[in-house]
Amino acid sequence: MMSGAFAGSLLLLISSMAFSWPVGAGGGLSAEEERARAFDSPAGSCLNWTPPDPTDMRRVDCAQPHLFEVTSNVDISADYPASAPPPDLDHWQDIAQAKCTPSATSYLGGKLDPYGKFRVNALKPVDSQWQNGDRKLRCGLQRIAPSGGLLPSTGSAATQDQSDVHDPGTCLELNGQKIGDPISCDKAHAYEIVGSVDLSQAFTGDFPADDAQREKAIELCAAVTKEYTGGADLTAKHLTPYSDTLKQESWAAGSRKVDCKVGAKLPDGSGLAPITNSVRAIGSTATASASATPTPTPSG
């Protein structure tokens, strides 16, 4: 779903900002000093700000929600001497991928899932820093939505499963027939994530074929879906269970988990119908309410 999101959105944001260098550690830093300190953070640091403008960029504990985790600082002065003009944005994105991917892979224990939870990106020097000789990329990892926007992450990427799964209760927008960003479940959406399952329970050897993965995932997701929906009869409510599958590159990197999802088909079966409201406990008479019942609404 997010496989094409090797985006340079943070490079684009940072390129319009000016940073001064840290004047020292400790408390009592101004917002500008805090930004500078965050911008020049060592590997293992987690950074957060209020999107889309990172004027309040700051270091946070990686246990807190954050938008960027620093994996290394890479000097590119050998390729871009003092007389070299700064690259344009497209070239910056290529540079970030080429220079930051090796250190990010090492940071993650030697394997990077190209279709997984995290994407490689970088903070780059702004033009004034470039003119003053700064040739250092601040490489890092982040979660990127299908739209290219940033998603918060919690916990260090270095210790996490890279499987691209979502928290239960996450609803994903439906744009035409394309799956979009997380959205409030009371708005029209494509799927609601009801949980995830680990395919290593069923496949212990070589990479399994898509059909085998899908069949086993639907089987494993049945219990997860039943608990989440309160045992609802999804067919009676015009809803359908779905699951994701893993690509071979993800399997090779160690990812084994996939999302369990609930959605709805268009009446003619040609695609997904938008649904509104959560499917959580819709089959439980103790917690269900009229407002909680999802209502598939065919488009077109």
Q: Say which residues have a Cβ less than 8 Å from residue 185's Cβ, sequence separation at least 6.
A: 169, 171, 192, 276, 277, 278
The pLDDT of 141-147, averaged and rounded, is: 92
The two three-digit tokens of residue 297, written as one number: 């609404």
pLDDT surpassing 80 at residue 15: no
Cis, peptide link before residue 294, omega less than 30° from 0: no
pLDDT band at 283; cut points 50, 70, 90: confident
How far is CA 115 from its chain centroid? 10
**Confidence (pTM):** 0.82
For the chain, the average pLDDT equals 85
pLDDT band at 44; cut points 50, 70, 90: very high
Question: Tell me, what amino acid is at 89?
Answer: L
3-class DSSP state for residue 37?
helix
